[in-house]
Structure 1
Amino acid sequence: MGTIERLRVRLSREMSRLPSQYRLMLLSVGVGIVAGLGAILFDRLLGWMLRTVLESFTGYSEPQAGSPAASLFTFAPVRSLWFFIVPVLGGLVSGVIVYLVAPEAEGHGTDAMIEAFHQRGGKIRKRVPFVKILASALTIGTGGSAGKEGPIAQIGSGFGSTFASLLKLNARERRILVLAGAAGGIGAIFQAPLGAALFAPEVLYRETEFEYEAILPCIVSSITSYAVYTQLYKKGALFFPGPVDFSLPGELLPYALFGVVCALAGFIYVRVFYGSRDLFFRPLRIHKMLKPAVGGLMLGTIAYAFPQVSDGGYGWVQMALEGKMLWGTMLLLAFLKILATSCTIGSGGSGGVFGPSVFIGAMLGGAFGFLGHQVAPEWVVNPSSFVLVGIGGFFAGVAKTPVSSIIMACEMSASYTLLVPLMLVSSTSYLLLRNTSLYEKQQLSRIASPAHLTEFARGMLEKIRVHEATTERPILRIPEDMPFGELVKTVTHSRASHFPVVDGEGRMTGILSIGNIRSILFEDTIDQLIVARDVATPNVVRVYWNDTLQQALEKMAAIQVDELPVVREERPDEIVTMISKRDIVNYYYGRSTA
């Protein structure tokens, strides 16, 4: 046994003697130190890429705080043909590295962290943080429209997972250290230690729930990481809003209306973001490692005319806060940023969605505030305030993180003056968007998470039968000989996500989902050649009428689905209804609060 191995074994033995909570606190300090160093490394590498590649070749750079309005014309309309080349090369190199070394490092890393928590017991391969640092620096540093949150979340969580694996910790403790690592990295790089400490436990779920056991370790890690990071980088806010204020109760109505605007724009953002991936990039018939280069070309085409959509765009957010941009320009940039981000990350490029969301929310707020000030100055008194409120309010809705988004927006601007309108806009946006989220790996709630399957309300669920939690209702049954073209039309007009396939006698022979249809949607000349039977999944897993809800959940977890057909024991081929995790969650909460 080598010296390092003996040291690891001894450290693991000593740690095992401590109570779990103290052990996690102590380890969170170590995770925070490494996450802070990782944030420094990533920030340094990204800064070097931006200076030596994007700025050197294209001549484009973001404006600095305090730049006079007249000087913005020297920053904005940079017309460089290098925009057609640099993002393509960055996407190509990033795609090759990710595909060959660590495919899980593609896309926005927060979703990968969420999936590791729920589905993999917190396990993240050791190579992922290093691949993510390099791939994200290449993507963003060559002009890609992406943010730092996703990369640093995956970097920090990867270090947390590695710590847990080295010390042979159990799955619960490993998952908590994964969250602590993500909180540490995000808290450092965004100068928002409290917001990040709440973001990591909150972003796991779409309902207003937290992974409460991880809050204190996340706080410890975030404080430590922030302290490490600020030893090198001067402590201070990312944005300087200047004098911002609002008047009660006069401006509450405009802020409530702005919350509706944030929800509408957020809905478009999520639909375009995943629509570009599912309907364009995934069906694209080229090698997967080349797709980020195609996304880079599309991004470069937009950036040639509007370079403000490149990189994070925080310099332009500052200009909006200072009131130095026209409302029409800000509105246009908000929607161009949606397209640019969809091209960069939807194609498989490596980066986060928080940075673009900050930009979009700020530009929406600026457009709404300054237009509103022109139209109704007695209602919209402080237009610059809407820029700052848009930063937190927009992300609260699309990320399903209303609490942490409010706090992060305040910390990033070192101002709590607009706390009340931030709360109003964030709550409105969150409630209106409901289940629409940028993070598709989020679980509905703790009870729906596989991480808590064996520990959450098991006693109650083992006593409740399926027929108590659901009722017979009309189900759209698909004849197995239905042509594919007709199948697509039928499914499009239905709000369901799973459809039983039946034979001529009404017996269930298979089941199909939207994913089954999407996988072959773009095949040529298939409308009459393929029928429903060819698309459906045979050997359907069934939930029986007298099964317990615990059995139903275990069957869903075993094949990783959220919904299954329900049949009676005496007629297993005749579907009665469908039951989903949401049905079980709703029934559980109804019983527990009755």
Structure 2
Amino acid sequence: MTTVSAPRLSIRVRLRGVGAGLGRWVSHAGYLQKWLVLGTFIGIIAGLGAVAFYSLLRLASHVFLGLIGGYFVPQPAAEDGFLGTPNFPTWWLIPIIVCLGGLLSGAIVYLFAPEAEGHGTNAAIDAVHRNPRMIRSRAVIVKMIASAITIGSGGSGGREGPTAQISAGFGSLLARTLNLSPEDGRIAVSMGIGSGIGAIFGAPLGGAVLAAGIVYREDFEVKALVPGLISSSVGYTVWGLFQGFTPLFGYSASNYRFDQPIQLLWFAVIGVVAGLVGLAYAKSYYSIAGLSKRLQVPRMLRPAIGGLAVGLLALAVPQVLGTGYGWVQQALDRSTLMALPLWIVLVLPFAKILATSLSIGTGGSGGIFGPGIVIGGFVGSALWRLVEPLGQGMGVPLSPAPFVIVGMMACFGAIARAPLAVMLMVAEMTGTLTILGPAMVAVGIAYLMVRRTDATIYRSQLLDRTEAQSARLHIGLPLLGRVGVAEAAVSPRVLLTTDMTVSNAITRLESAFVPGAPAVDTDGRFQGTVDMAVLRKLTAADDTTIERCVDAAAPTVSDGADLGEAIDALPEGHGWLTVLDDEHRVSGILAIGDVVRAYHATLRSDERIVAQVSADSGITYIRIAPSSPLAGHTLAERGLPDGVIVLSVRRGEEALLAAGSVELCAGDLVSVLAPVNMLAAVRALLAPG
């Protein structure tokens, strides 16, 4: 039997004890204490993660493009402002290098953490909605290495995706280790997204707002904003201690003053064009990603094919290689932008879209936030080159910087469905706030254009909070918040230990007729859950333990929580979750059937209590007739006479609480509380004839 050495086991037990102790403190701490501590921890990891990935990326770029290819990409102002190598010393090596980077990246992701492919921000948003505990630590490490290789070898991608996944992964780790409530877990992961991106871009305020706005297309998670301010500020401070506090693109338009109203016309044009280019970006990326999945080649080879195509494209348009931030820096300056051929400036936005789609959409690892900013900057520079001959008399600024900055804000702010956050981030990245006023015209127009199509670059975003599973349940079933988990949970039929053999675990699960069970260590502390389907796929020897099969990210809920929190913790597709006490020990199991049973019992109890409130009131059950004026309408639209309360609506086997948004249908069984002298009138209204 495989065993764990005593020293290793002792360290694990101690760490779990520390985690359990911190978890108890967090569960009883006040709002300020909790988020000050958690926000500081997440911010420190975000800053250190950003520094670590930036250093790894610089090393990869130096090795692949620099030492092997003899080509050094331009750098933005905060990173020495190097103008880059004027041409390729050995041009034929460039496609080979980018292809090799894609091959290495694809192999690492495929072999060690397949979920790390593509752009990390989307995966982190998905974790916020589905299960804030689901981000594996292994995926974070793989994401860092694979992204550094992809981008460092010339692939077109952003460095914010890996940094967002690092800090979001730490938030996910906190959710698991401290047994955070589902709501706190979502906030922790959202904070990680915002603080990671804010740190790597040197934009703390934008990062904090991004934490609250990136998870929805048309909503704002207010509860994540204030904690996000703490984590993003700490992350930025840590980043600055190592890399300095100079804005990424320097103080690019610090002298700009909006004093010509005619410029609003040009900013409106930028908004229109940026909105259209943003839509093209999303369409191109997901089209190529879909095409890549249909290719009849091994999965790990797809990024290599994309890399080869990007390398060939770079022979004509070298600006597509890497992040592109250095080229945006050059576009901000009149002299360097005018030195570029006009056709290059005009084709750049579309070439960068194609390169990013080929690099990341085929399975390469990297972010799509950064390229979106670069694409928007290229849109602004192209428009400035076209209208520059009109001169300042027509409101065209002498410097292209205002056009480039507004293009960055409008293009990606619209397609990311986070206009306010991206506006603030770009303002911080360029060291200017004076352009925000007129820029709002461009950003507003671009956002409204994208909103009409319902498009987004982050497909894990939900429309708003009402679309989330937990929000839907709380609106329709508010009694969930009054029923304790301890009242509904049942004892587990099977409790496995991590040193149990695979064959023994399968026998135990089969005997109890259950698809899975919680697993605990030798000290009795919860480690995760084990699924029968996973065990049956193993071909290992019978004496192999189940330790490596344990899902540490499995959903859990505290025994002091209510059913609303339990539903929040239950990801889509899971039928049960484990209930834990303050010591991180298993106290029960809660399945969907248990939730429904406890809810119905509470509903029936409330009906009896309400019926006793007044001697002249009574409850009656009425089935809605097709001829009822309420059929096909919500209670908010039609309602009932004063003094009459609809307690519940039963539709087949489904029990609904009578919220104003519930639409009544013919055949619904409605329980109504009303004065005795009004019951006949209510019956005539609901079931006339």
- State which of 222, 231, 237 in structure 1 corresponds to 2:232: 222
2:245 alignment partner, SS class = coil
Partner of 1:256: 268
In the alignment, structure 1 residue 392 sits paired with structure 2 residue 409: yes
1:455 alignment partner, SS class = helix
Q: After superposition, what is the alpha-carbon deviation per residue over 1:560-590, rounded to whole angstroms, capped at 9, x for unaligned?
A: 9xxxxxxxx99xxxxxx9xxxxxxxxx9999
Partner of 1:62: 73
Structure 2: distance between partners of 1:76 and 1:456 = 61
Q: Is the 8 A contact 2:217 2:464 kept in 1?
A: yes
Q: Is the 8 A contact 1:184 1:225 kept in 2?
A: yes
Q: Is the 8 A contact 1:129 1:159 kept in 2?
A: no
In the alignment, structure 1 residue 45 sits paired with structure 2 residue 72: no
Partner of 2:359: 344
Partner of 2:307: 296
Structure 1: distance between partners of 2:394 and 2:661 = 41
Pairs within 5 Å for 1:127-526: 127-207=138-218, 209-240=219-250, 241-242=252-253, 243-278=255-290, 280-323=291-334, 324-325=336-337, 326=340, 327-375=342-390, 377-382=392-397, 383-434=400-451, 435-456=454-475, 458=477
Q: Is the 8 A contact 1:292 1:348 kept in 2?
A: yes
Quickly say closer, same or farther: Cα 1:589–1:21, change in 2 above 3 A.
Answer: farther
Structure 1: distance between partners of 2:214 and 2:421 = 9
Q: Is the 8 A contact 2:267 2:441 kept in 1?
A: yes
Q: Is the 8 A contact 2:83 2:326 kept in 1?
A: no
Q: Is the 8 A contact 1:150 1:351 kept in 2?
A: yes
Q: Is the 8 A contact 1:370 1:384 kept in 2?
A: no
- Shift of residue 104, structure 1, vs aligned partner: 1.3
Quickly say closer, same or farther: Cα 1:251–1:99, change in 2 above 3 A.
Answer: same
Quickly say closer, same or farther: Cα 1:322–1:76, change in 2 above 3 A.
Answer: farther
- Shift of residue 354, structure 1, vs aligned partner: 1.4
Q: Could you tell me which amino acid in structure 1 is paired with residue 246 of structure 2? A: G
Q: Is the 8 A contact 2:194 2:228 kept in 1?
A: yes
Quickly say closer, same or farther: Cα 1:250–1:259, change in 2 above 3 A.
Answer: same
- State which of 90, 95, 105 in structure 2 corresponds to 1:94: 105
Structure 1: distance between partners of 2:93 and 2:358 = 18
Structure 2: distance between partners of 1:395 and 1:317 = 14
Q: After superposition, what is the alpha-carbon deviation per residue over 1:294-345, rounded to whole angstroms, capped at 9, x for unaligned?
A: 1111111111222210101111111110022245322211110011001001
Q: Is the 8 A contact 2:74 2:85 kept in 1?
A: no
Q: Is the 8 A contact 2:127 2:135 kept in 1?
A: yes
- Shift of residue 380, structure 1, vs aligned partner: 3.5
Partner of 2:649: none
Q: Is the 8 A contact 2:75 2:84 kept in 1?
A: no
Q: Is the deviation greater in 23-32 or in 326-335?
A: 326-335
TM-score normalised over the length of structure 1: 0.74
Q: Could you tell me which amino acid in structure 2 is paired with residue 335 of structure 1? A: F
Structure 1: distance between partners of 2:361 and 2:476 = 38
Q: After superposition, what is the alpha-carbon deviation per residue over 1:427-447, rounded to whole angstroms, capped at 9, x for unaligned?
A: 110100111111111111110
Quickly say closer, same or farther: Cα 1:273–1:385, change in 2 above 3 A.
Answer: same
Quickly say closer, same or farther: Cα 1:261–1:457, change in 2 above 3 A.
Answer: farther
Quickly say closer, same or farther: Cα 1:76–1:442, change in 2 above 3 A.
Answer: farther
Q: Could you tell me which amino acid in structure 2 is paired with residue 239 of structure 1? A: F
1:239 alignment partner, SS class = coil
TM-score normalised over the length of structure 2: 0.64
2:210 alignment partner, SS class = helix
Q: Count residues with an aligned counterpart.
A: 470
Quickly say closer, same or farther: Cα 1:245–1:57, change in 2 above 3 A.
Answer: farther
Q: After superposition, what is the alpha-carbon deviation per residue over 1:41-71, rounded to whole angstroms, capped at 9, x for unaligned?
A: 10110011111211222222233568xxxx9
Structure 1: distance between partners of 2:15 and 2:300 = 37
Partner of 2:485: none
1:300 alignment partner, SS class = helix
Q: Could you tell me which amino acid in structure 2 is paired with residue 136 of structure 1? A: S
- Shift of residue 170, structure 1, vs aligned partner: 1.7
Structure 2 unmatched ranges of 5 or more: 1-9, 480-566, 575-623, 626-631, 633-658, 664-689
Q: Is the 8 A contact 1:245 1:385 kept in 2?
A: no
1:368 alignment partner, SS class = helix
Q: Of the two, which has the highest radius of gyration?
A: 2
- Shift of residue 197, structure 1, vs aligned partner: 0.8
1:270 alignment partner, SS class = helix
Structure 2: distance between partners of 1:199 and 1:251 = 28
Q: After superposition, what is the alpha-carbon deviation per residue over 1:214-250, rounded to whole angstroms, capped at 9, x for unaligned?
A: 1111111111111111111111101131433433411
- Shift of residue 21, structure 1, vs aligned partner: 4.8
Quickly say closer, same or farther: Cα 1:73–1:238, change in 2 above 3 A.
Answer: closer
Quickly say closer, same or farther: Cα 1:457–1:196, change in 2 above 3 A.
Answer: farther
Structure 2: distance between partners of 1:294 and 1:275 = 16
Q: Could you tell me which amino acid in structure 2 is paired with residue 442 of structure 1? A: Q
1:232 alignment partner, SS class = helix
- Shift of residue 346, structure 1, vs aligned partner: 0.7
Q: After superposition, what is the alpha-carbon deviation per residue over 1:93-132, rounded to whole angstroms, capped at 9, x for unaligned?
A: 1111111221111111111011111112442112121111
Q: Could you tell me which amino acid in structure 2 is paired with residue 118 of structure 1? A: H
Structure 1: distance between partners of 2:413 and 2:426 = 10
Quickly say closer, same or farther: Cα 1:312–1:263, change in 2 above 3 A.
Answer: same
- Shift of residue 15, structure 1, vs aligned partner: 2.5
Q: Is the 8 A contact 1:369 1:380 kept in 2?
A: no
Quickly say closer, same or farther: Cα 1:433–1:100, change in 2 above 3 A.
Answer: same
Quickly say closer, same or farther: Cα 1:413–1:353, change in 2 above 3 A.
Answer: same
- Shift of residue 451, structure 1, vs aligned partner: 4.6
Quickly say closer, same or farther: Cα 1:120–1:369, change in 2 above 3 A.
Answer: same
Paired-residue identity, %: 39
Structure 2: distance between partners of 1:8 and 1:343 = 42
Q: Is the 8 A contact 1:246 1:385 kept in 2?
A: no
Structure 2: distance between partners of 1:263 and 1:394 = 6
1:282 alignment partner, SS class = helix
Quickly say closer, same or farther: Cα 1:337–1:81, change in 2 above 3 A.
Answer: same
